[in-house]
Amino acid sequence: MSSLKRIRSALVSVYHKDNLEGIIHQLAKLDITLYSTGGTKEFIEKLGLEVHAVEDLTTYPSILGGRVKTLHPKVFGGILARRNIASDKNQLAEYEIPELDLVIVDLYPFEETVKSGADEQEIIEKIDIGGISLIRAAAKSFKDVLIISDRDQYKRFYDLLLEKKGESSLEDRKQFAAEAFDVSSHYDTAIYNYFSKDQDVTGFKQSYRNGKPLRYGENPHQRGFFFGNFDLCFDQIHGKEISYNNLLDIDAAVHLISEFAGTTFAILKHNNACGIASRERLVDAWKVALAGDPVSAFGGILITNAVLDKPTAEEINKLFFEVIIAPDYSKESLEILKQKKNRIILIRKSLNLSRYSFRSLLNGVIYQDKDLKTEVPADMKTVTKAKPTEEEIMDLVFANKVVKHTKSNCIVLAKNRQLVASGVGQTSRVDALKQAIAKARRFKFDLNGTVMASDAFFPFADSVEIAQEAGIKAVVQPGGSIRDQDSIDFCDNHGMSMVFTGTRHFKH
């Protein structure tokens, strides 16, 4: 038996009527009987087309201020009846219920209403009941019923009407049913997250629609997708398609640069800063950031919090890099940067990012508040006899911001608001420190007067001993080890200053 089914009757009840007119005219042209409610019925009538009121079918008016319109057996019976079961067909005839072969419905804009800052009552009224029920019923009955559940489907559905002249295949109906359950589950998730944020409910639900396929995942043999709205965060004005790994680096770059108010330039590789500096002039910030590790900078991600100007563009154009991010660009700088056709150029928009993070592991998900704690000088408690100078305090704050956004175990060395070197992702804090010192010496840095930041406490005094031998004069760490006093005593005996913040910044 052919899976093609002709549409003979349709229920149309939508909140958004944009781009609906062509569909309605085509349905009428195909002699499809139309049923509708309220504003949609008025819309169809203004087109000069015949339409039957759902209220006439059910013999009940729309009640409770429009809260109840389609919730009736004469509506849902026509959708849920199984056409291949005689008893279902007999009951439709007995109760004079018409078969409904097509349902076009969309949902009240719940998410948009929440984002608008509306009061609770207005938000509650935008929880769709009838619409969501129609979507689920029609999708469940995909063997017989076609469901159009989103206005983004209108163009595709209109083309289908023209191509198949009012018929649809089982494959068509099942595809639209799958999309309908995507719509309904996303809608319910948004409602749940609205209610659960202030209530004692520990369920985890996240929903992102319209995933964008990426070239591949972390490696070429892995599939990859991005679920989200990248265009809300950035305007891409040049370059190739953004990859999975680009997205990881872009996310890390945005979170890092957000810590800094003054003119700052950062270079990232594999989610970690390999160069960052703050200066009055952007071009100077770039040069100093690059000096921190000109080798790792090759193929990296560049980000600044200042408008990119021509002098800076001329300098960074000497380096191969994947992505550059800035709040804006001068016309002259873009002419320079666009010389490489694959170079990704992004304008960062003002956007409040999520305050939570989650990741999949084992057979579930872990979820946490993001680390939004950023220490200022007042948070730094001096625990040694020597106190850091004002200049050292500024560097300690700078280094502590960088260490917060670097993979643990991590040590960051900084001087004059420049990342001198970092030891990243080591299994031992001592190894991280040795890595940072070796790297700094490789690039000919004088470590005398450098400050050191650690993402977690020192379990022993060995780290401050190694730091002192290298010329480091001031240290910031969370504190909290049972052997803190050993590190404090060593600093006191060697004229070093050390401050505790009381806040650990692990990043894994």
Residue numbers annotated as active site: 140, 270
N-terminal to C-terminal alpha carbon distance within the chain? 57
Closest listed residue to residue 253, CA positions, set 231, 276, 235? 276
Alpha-carbon distance 368 to 363, whole Å?
17
Q: Which of 482, 421, 483 is nearest to 452 (CA)?
A: 421
Residue environment code for 18-44, b if the CB has 16+ CB neighbours within 10 A, otherwise e: eebeebbebbbebebbbbbbeebbebb
Give long-range contacts, CB 8 A cutoff, 24+ apart: 188-191.
188/132, 190/110, 190/111, 190/114, 191/110, 191/127
Tell the burial category of 207 from Cβ atoms under 10 Å away from its Cβ (0-12, 13-18, 19+).
Answer: middle
Cα–Cα dist 433/450, whole Å = 13
DSSP for 41-53?
Answer: HHHHHHTT---EE
Tokens of 436: 């940072």
Helix or strand (DSSP H, E) at 451: strand 451-454
Task: Return the number of other C-beta atoms located less than 10 Å from residue 302's C-beta.
Answer: 24
* 453 φ, ψ (degrees, to nearest 5): -120, 140
Reported as half-sphere exposure (CB side, CA atoms, 13 A), residue 430 has a value of: 7
d(CA 3, CA 116) in angstroms, rounded, equals 44
